[in-house]
Structure 1
Amino acid sequence: MKTYIAVLLGSVLWAILLTPVVIWVARRVGAHDEPGVRKVHTKAIPRIGGIAVFIPTLILTSAVLWLDNAVSRAFREIEWQIIALAVGATAAFGVGLADDLYQLRARTKFIVQVAAAVLVCAFGIRINAFAVGDWMRIEFGLFSWPLTILWLVGICNAVNLIDGLDGLAAGIASIACAVIAMLAIHTGMAVMAVLMLALLGSLLGFLVFNFNPAKVFLGDSGSLFLGFVLGASSVMCSQKSVTMVGLALPFLALGVPILDTLFSMLRRTLERRSMFAPDRSHIHHRLVDLGLHQRHVVLFIYLVTATTTGLGLVMMITRGRETVVVFCCVMLLLLVVFRMVGAIRLRETIERIRVNQRLARDNKETRRVHDRACLTVRAAGDFEQWWQAMCAAGKEMDFVWLSASYQDDAGVEQIIVWRNPSWVPDSGRVLDVRLPAPPWSDVPSLDLQLGVAINGSLETASHRATQFARLVDEYRPVTRPREGGVSASDRSVGRDALWTPSRSGPVA
């Protein structure tokens, strides 16, 4: 116990002494986080605070493990696993620090995280089984590799994404460290207890400077390091604990960032955006938008995390199905919190799924129409056949009208117009598109204009116009238009009126 207390207090002291130095270095090298649309701070803040968490954790843990005591003897039994964990955590820290300094691509950071996860898996840190007392046990076998990689990379990114307010990620991680340390002591894993207490002390010392108003941010170096260490430590505890508590308890301790990440992924999928695309819809952003002060938001999330974690500790004294009931009840509480702040909107989610399905069907049908039209347009032997094929394609794509303007040999502007006979005037909005087609070998320059029925979605209307433009680009008429087109100069109405769908016009 004296060793545990010494590690905790020593890491607190190291972090308090080291953080001002890190702040000074960050200012010297210009490693600042500038204010922006997604940011809530209003001035540049140093963002390499992860150094002040990484170094004390490394120093205190290494010092204890190399002493001649019970902890060091336990360390020698799992020496290679701890070394693999240290190397993987250092890689996560390193790529995060590089991002803080040089702004790496999200894909680069992701690749390094996966590589670090593969490394620890190779040394036996894997989720091999999941057991609920004597009631149920699942052996994952080879699936333990992808499952563990998913867990480690997921926790890394969950902690990284929740790091949006002063002290938020560091505070949640502190609670998780305390819980995993308790679990490690409970299961007799002295090495993991020392690691978690060293990390906890580093975070507590760092929070002196990171809590609102923050003088320094964790940065990606800190958040990725925290996520990797917490994820790998929870896996090692689950290997020693023969029940689901080994993973379920850390899951609840990190429940807020995990659920926030899952809902962010769902939101980006429904909005058809990249998984790496930034947004401002995380739980802390929503609470700030509700009018709460930053500090109150952070304290509220601390309270939620502490409550769910405290309730989750009951799983350590339950068995079998009772453990599952406790876990499900705590998860339900977390979901209620997310529902209250607007992170879960079931009706909007269902409606968005329906819209996406409809858009996918419409776009697929438009591509089929384009493919069929390609056969007809390709076979056109002259301009008239080409025009008829284009009009047929326009009808299938639900165009309201289609017109072509060109100059004949005498320099007189000729216009031909096709109108969809099934279109009812004033039955809906129309997207007007102009396609200035380039001149071709024996064909003068054509100026195509089309009216596309919107039918409730500008996206599908523009997609239909785009597919039609592909036809114009890929299959051009091989002859000049025949003489006898309609001259704009012979019309009593102005030229612009000829392009307006609501006016009458010549039909060819």
Structure 2
Amino acid sequence: MILVLLTGLALSFLVTLILAPLIIPLLRRLHFGQYIREEGPKSHQKKAGTPTMGGVIFLTGMLIALLVIAFNYHVADQNTYMLLFVSLGFGVVGLADDFIKVVMKRNMGLTSKQKMLGQLIIAAIFMYVTTRYDYSTFLYVPGTHWMINLYWLYPVFAVFILIGVPNATNLTDGMDGLLSGLAAISFAAFAIIAVAANQLGIAFFATAMMGAMLGFLVFNAHPARVFMGDTGSLAIGGALAGISILTGTEILLAVIGGVYVIETLSVIIQVISFKTTGKRVFRMSPIHHHFELGGWSEWKVVTVFWLVGLILAIIGVYLKVGMIN
């Protein structure tokens, strides 16, 4: 089984590596270039025009790995299909947002209500299907034997996660390679957790996503030749949220994805502080820009955040796998 997982990882990596040089020039010819907000760091203005919507590249790599390996070797199960649905579903919402931004030249893309409605529909369908089968309404506190039963509130909580996590990963996607590297680490952690729990369909999906993220990182690392756009960042968040729900690691996701939580909290703190006191806590939010404006190079910020993400992922795996064993 480990060999099958590694084969899926390698295939998704290679397919993404092959597709990227073919799709990036096409995105450039179609003028699918990134719009850079004027209120962002001045150093990022030179990135304007870099091809975006690159999420289609690694999502295709992941999908091909599933079609070739998982389905042929009967690794795919109900959970695999559900994760495929939630990741591609959020990816489609992001694709619509990117398309409006870069093709229709509406810088804000979908309105907040339109984006929320799209995400809510995907999340609701995911949870409806989940509740048709055996599922737990318990939340497990990492590293303990404590359980919290949410009863009928669990689906509401799960939908909150399904909407919140994609928006957190979307906020994190603000520097070359930052989210793609962190996502590869997160998917690796969940692959280990799924293997330990004998949830092989989830494990294969996670390893396929990890391989695709690593392949995409080759072209997304500084200086980026392509950005993933909302197509990629929302798909990543949807996949991570879905995995956490299907593996019963909803709280643990806040540990493994601790960087996403920090990024989101920095924005919330900044907004509340500015609206209530007129002062900013950070030089700029999300917090990765705070360090960049403090004199750190973009590459230093990214590598430090990767390291923090890796440490948190190791802690998360230890907490969960230690409890299983």
Q: TM-score category by the smaller chain?
A: 0.7 to 0.9
Counterpart position of 1:268: 271
2:291 to 265, 287, 292: 287
Alpha-carbon separation, structure 1, partners of 2:208 and 2:236: 12
Q: Are the aligned partners of 2:193 and 2:321 in contact in 1 as well (CA < 8 Å)? A: no
TM-superposition CA deviations, 1:398-446 (whole Å, max 9, x none) = xxxxxxxxxxxxxxxxxxxxxxxxxxxxxxxxxxxxxxxxxxxxxxxxx
2:63 paired with 1:58:
yes
Counterpart position of 1:111: 117
Alignment of 1:172-321 (within 5 A): 172-238=182-248, 246-272=249-275, 280-316=284-320, 318=322
Q: Are the aligned partners of 1:121 and 1:148 in contact in 2 as well (CA < 8 Å)? A: yes
| Structure 2: gaps of 5 or more residues | 101-108, 277-282
Q: Are the aligned partners of 1:89 and 1:116 in contact in 2 as well (CA < 8 Å)? A: no
Alpha-carbon separation, structure 2, partners of 1:272 and 1:127: 40
2:171 paired with 1:161:
yes
Alpha-carbon separation, structure 1, partners of 2:323 and 2:189: 19
Distance 1:15 1:262, change over 3 A: same
Deviation at 1:271, TM superposition (A): 3.4
TM-superposition CA deviations, 1:205-247 (whole Å, max 9, x none) = 0000000000000100000000001110111111xxxxxxx33
2:84 to 80, 83, 86: 86
Between 1 and 2, higher relative CO (CA 8 Å, sep ≥ 6) is seen in 2
Distance 1:162 1:131, change over 3 A: closer
TM-superposition CA deviations, 1:17-61 (whole Å, max 9, x none) = 111222112112111113442152513211111011111111211
Whichever residue aligns with residue 112 of structure 1, its letter is G
Q: Are the aligned partners of 1:177 and 1:197 in contact in 2 as well (CA < 8 Å)? A: yes
Q: Are the aligned partners of 1:22 and 1:48 in contact in 2 as well (CA < 8 Å)? A: no
Alpha-carbon separation, structure 1, partners of 2:175 and 2:144: 43
Alpha-carbon separation, structure 1, partners of 2:231 and 2:136: 26
> TM-score, normalization: structure 1?
0.56
Deviation at 1:134, TM superposition (A): 7.9
TM-superposition CA deviations, 1:188-215 (whole Å, max 9, x none) = 0100110001000000000000000000
1:128 to 137, 140, 152: 137
Counterpart position of 1:140: 150
Distance 1:146 1:260, change over 3 A: same
Q: Are the aligned partners of 1:179 and 1:249 in contact in 2 as well (CA < 8 Å)? A: no
Distance 1:197 1:68, change over 3 A: closer
Alpha-carbon separation, structure 2, partners of 1:234 and 1:300: 25
Whichever residue aligns with residue 268 of structure 1, its letter is V
Alignment of 1:350-429 (within 5 A): none
Whichever residue aligns with residue 110 of structure 2, its letter is L
Deviation at 1:294, TM superposition (A): 0.4
- Normalized per residue, the structure richer in helix is 2
Distance 1:165 1:135, change over 3 A: closer
Distance 1:105 1:198, change over 3 A: same
Whichever residue aligns with residue 294 of structure 2, its letter is L
Distance 1:34 1:166, change over 3 A: same
Counterpart position of 1:98: 96
Alpha-carbon separation, structure 1, partners of 2:5 and 2:73: 15
Q: Are the aligned partners of 2:8 and 2:208 in contact in 1 as well (CA < 8 Å)? A: yes
Deviation at 1:318, TM superposition (A): 4.6
TM-superposition CA deviations, 1:430-488 (whole Å, max 9, x none) = xxxxxxxxxxxxxxxxxxxxxxxxxxxxxxxxxxxxxxxxxxxxxxxxxxxxxxxxxxx
Alpha-carbon separation, structure 1, partners of 2:264 and 2:36: 23
Deviation at 1:316, TM superposition (A): 3.3
TM-superposition CA deviations, 1:306-345 (whole Å, max 9, x none) = 122223333135559xxxxxxxxxxxxxxxxxxxxxxxxx
> TM-score, normalization: structure 2?
0.86
Q: Between Structure 1 and Structure 2, whose CA radius of gyration is higher?
A: 1
Distance 1:95 1:247, change over 3 A: closer
Whichever residue aligns with residue 15 of structure 2, its letter is W
User: Which secondary structure state, in structure 1, belongs to the residue aligned with residue 62 of structure 2?
Assistant: helix
Alpha-carbon separation, structure 1, partners of 2:295 and 2:73: 54
TM-superposition CA deviations, 1:146-193 (whole Å, max 9, x none) = 100111111100000010000001111111000000000010010011
Alpha-carbon separation, structure 2, partners of 1:292 and 1:272: 28
Q: Are the aligned partners of 2:193 and 2:317 in contact in 1 as well (CA < 8 Å)? A: no
* Identity over aligned pairs, percent: 28
| Structure 1: gaps of 5 or more residues | 239-245, 274-278, 321-508
User: Which secondary structure state, in structure 1, belongs to the residue aligned with residue 255 of structure 2?
Assistant: helix
Alpha-carbon separation, structure 2, partners of 1:269 and 1:29: 40
Distance 1:41 1:200, change over 3 A: farther
Q: Are the aligned partners of 1:179 and 1:250 in contact in 2 as well (CA < 8 Å)? A: no
- Normalized per residue, the structure richer in strand is 1
Whichever residue aligns with residue 29 of structure 1, its letter is L
Q: Are the aligned partners of 2:83 and 2:205 in contact in 1 as well (CA < 8 Å)? A: no
Query: What value does the CA root-mean-square deviation take over the aligned residues?
Result: 2.2
